[in-house]
């Protein structure tokens, strides 16, 4: 726990340094517009990172995360294109609700599939979700032949691009996921069991915890967060496609590890993840303003991941001695 506080302190310091440096050094960094675009960009990635984080905490991983997000978006996009054009009032609301429900159903199904295979068949999470990733993306590609679905009702684009009190609506969605999740992880029995399972599933089971059911729930929840992420992303981009945002997969893991989450389970906090996301977003936005290629950002993120991991291991070994 001391170590975690440590990590968060380190991350906060880095965040503040970056903020000051970028604000002083880059013209439009400290501005409403750039804050706006950062908030919008970080929201979608943030929700997906939360989805990845909970599987990492329990000692697993969800490689099917982005594939799930895309299949959800496509399902919802298809249903909306079917039900909402020309509809008004109650019919429009009904159409949107039905579409969202279909997306939720798809997400729950994929999550349940992952959870069932991992918890009850005891397949390694990397392999199981690698399989579902290929399957789910394959279904998305098969159904759409790789085509884009676009043109959604205003309500959906509002989720992605709208504002409340001058703050992007999607940021509220992200925070609305992050805070309950943080409370769930730290304050409910299931949350605490997730950490224990992440450290040692067998010992947790010997304590009388139905670990398989907890694991099952983790993957369903991860999938449901992917569904929320899907709504935000499709609203933001106003379109859906089988291979959108694939680079996010590794970035969610990167953000989690940078945020002090042990990739082998058992420790990590939502707060750390949020700090890590903010750092990554600052760098990305600053480079964007400087006119650097987004791929340079990618490379810098990689360097930061290595540095953060090395530092974490160094701190830990110092504390142990």
Partner 1 sequence: MHDMLKRLRSRNEFWLAIVLLGLVVFFSFTAPAFFTIGNLNDLLTQNAFTGILCAGLIVVLIAGGIDISFTATASVVQYAAVTLANMYGMNWIILLVIAGGLGAIMGTINAFFVVKFRIHSIIVSIATLNIFYGLLIFITSGSYITTVPDYFYDGINWLEFQLGRRSYGINLQMVLLFGSFILTAFILKATNIGRQIYAMGGNPDAAQRLGFSIFRLNLFVYGYMGFIAGIASIAHAQLQLNVTPTVLVGRELTVLAAVVLGGASLMGGVGTVLGTILGVSFLCVLQNGLIILGLPARWEGAVTGLVILIAVAASALEGSRQMNMRRASRKGQEAGAAT
Partner 2 sequence: MTAFLKLHGISKRFGGVTALSNVDMTLEAGEVHCLVGENGSGKSTLIKIISGVQSPEPGAQIIIAGREVPRLTPQESTRFGIQVIYQDLSLFPNLTVAENIAINCHFGRPHVVRWAELRKKAEEALGKIGVTLDLDAIVGNLTIANRQLVAICRALTADAKLLIMDEPTASLTRTEVNRLLDLVRGLKAQGICIVFVSHRLDEVLEVADRVTVLRDGNKVGTYSAGEMNDKKLAVLMTGKQFTYDLREIDVSDRPVVLSVEGLTRQGEYDNIDFELREGEILGLTGLLGSGRTELALTLFGMTRPERGKIFLDAAPITLRSNQDAINAGIAYVSEDRLTLGLVLDQPISSNTIVTVLQHLAGRLNLVPSLIRKDTVDRLVKELTIKVSNTESAVRTLSGGNQQRVVLAKWLARKPRVLILDSPTVGVDIMAKDGIYEIVKSLAAEGAAILMISDEIPEVLYHSHRILVMREGRLSSEHRPHETDEHRLMAAVNA
Give the footprint of partner 2 on this chain (CB under 8 A): 1, 183, 187-190, 192-193, 195-196, 199-200, 202-210, 266-267
In sequence order, the 6+-apart residues with CB closer than 8 A to the CB of 245 are: 44, 66, 69, 70, 233
Q: Is 25 in the site for partner 1 (CB under 8 A)?
A: no
Using CA atoms in the order 221, 54, 64, 168, what is the torsion angle rounded to 10 degrees?
80
Q: Is 124 in the site for partner 1 (CB under 8 A)?
A: yes
Least Cβ distance, residue 193 to partner 2 (angstroms) = 8
Least Cβ distance, residue 4 to partner 2 (angstroms) = 10
Taking the least distance from each CB to partner 2, the nearer of 167 and 183 is 183
**Residue 296 interacts with which of partner 2, partner 1, none, CB < 5 to 8 Å by class:** partner 1
Taking the least distance from each CB to partner 2, the nearer of 131 and 266 is 266
Helices 65-83/32-57 angle, 10° precision: 120
Each residue 252-291 as x (binds partner 1 by CB under 8 A) or -, in order, gives -xx--x-----xx---------------------------
Collapsing DSSP states into helix, strand and coil, what is residue 277?
helix
Distance, CA of 232 to CA of 249 (rounded, Å): 16
How many Cα neighbours within 13 Å face the side chain of 257? Answer: 22
Q: In the block, which residue shows the tokens 């930061």? A: 304
Whether 242 and 19 have beta carbons less than 8 Å apart is answered as no
| φ, ψ of residue 123 in degrees (nearest 5) | -85, 145
**Residue 263 interacts with which of partner 1, partner 2, none, CB < 5 to 8 Å by class:** partner 1
Distance, CA of 237 to CA of 247 (rounded, Å): 16
DSSP per residue over 227-248, as a string?
Answer: HHHHHHHHHHHSEE-TTTTTTH
**Residue 13 interacts with which of partner 2, partner 1, none, CB < 5 to 8 Å by class:** none
Least Cβ distance, residue 124 to partner 2 (angstroms) = 17
In sequence order, the 6+-apart residues with CB closer than 8 A to the CB of 23 are: 29, 30
**Residue 183 interacts with which of partner 2, partner 1, none, CB < 5 to 8 Å by class:** partner 2
Q: Is 145 in the site for partner 1 (CB under 8 A)?
A: yes
Distance linking the first and last C-alpha atoms of the chain? 17
**Residue 74 interacts with which of partner 2, partner 1, none, CB < 5 to 8 Å by class:** none
CA distances from 320 to 3, 9, 175, 315, 317 (A): 11, 19, 35, 9, 5
Whether 77 and 147 have beta carbons less than 8 Å apart is answered as no
Taking the least distance from each CB to partner 2, the nearer of 183 and 296 is 183
Tell me the window of 127-135, 166-174, 229-237, 272-280 that interacts with partner 1 (CB under 8 A): 127-135
In sequence order, the 6+-apart residues with CB closer than 8 A to the CB of 155 are: 96
**Residue in 8, 43, 55, 132 binding partner 1, rule: CB under 8 A:** 132
Tell me the window of 161-169, 195-203, 222-230, 292-300 that interacts with partner 1 (CB under 8 A): 292-300
**Residue 221 interacts with which of partner 1, partner 2, none, CB < 5 to 8 Å by class:** none
- What residues line the site for partner 1 (CB under 8 A)? 63, 117, 121-124, 126-128, 130-139, 141-142, 145-146, 246, 250, 253-254, 257, 263-264, 292-293, 295-303, 305-306, 309-310, 313
């Amino acid at each position: 726990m001391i170590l975690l506080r440590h990590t968060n302190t380190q991350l906060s310091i880095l965040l503040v340094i970056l903020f000051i440096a970028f604000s002083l050094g880059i013209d439009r960094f400290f501005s409403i517009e750039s804050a706006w675009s950062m908030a919008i960009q970080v929201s979608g990635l943030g929700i997906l990172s939360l989805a990845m984080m909970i599987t990492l905490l329990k000692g697993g991983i969800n490689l099917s995360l982005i594939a799930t997000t895309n299949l959800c978006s496509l399902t919802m996009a298809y249903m909306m294109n079917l039900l909402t054009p020309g509809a008004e009032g109650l019919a429009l609301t009904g159409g949107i609700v039905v579409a969202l429900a279909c997306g939720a159903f798809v997400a729950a199904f994929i999550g349940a599939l992952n959870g069932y295979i991992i918890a009850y068949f005891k397949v390694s999470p990397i392999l199981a979700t690698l399989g579902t990733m290929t399957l789910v993306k394959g279904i998305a590609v098969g159904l759409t032949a790789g085509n884009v679905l676009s043109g959604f009702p205003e309500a959906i684009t509002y989720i992605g691009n709208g504002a409340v009190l001058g703050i992007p609506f999607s940021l509220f969605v992200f925070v609305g996921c992050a805070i309950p999740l943080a409370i769930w992880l730290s304050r409910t029995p299931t949350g605490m069991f997730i950490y224990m399972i992440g450290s040692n599933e067998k010992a947790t089971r010997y304590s009388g915890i139905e670990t398989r059911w907890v694991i099952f729930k983790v993957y369903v929840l991860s999938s449901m967060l992917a569904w929320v992420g899907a709504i935000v992303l499709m609203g933001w981009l106003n379109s859906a496609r089988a291979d959108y945002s694939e680079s996010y997969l590794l970035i969610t893991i990167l953000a989690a590890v940078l945020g002090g989450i042990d990739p082998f389970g058992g420790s990590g906090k939502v707060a750390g993840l949020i700090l890590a996301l903010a750092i990554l977003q600052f760098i990305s936005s600053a480079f964007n303003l400087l006119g650097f290629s987004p791929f340079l950002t990618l490379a810098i993120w990689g360097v930061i991941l290595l540095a953060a991991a090395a530092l974490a291991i160094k701190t830990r070994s110092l504390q142990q001695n």
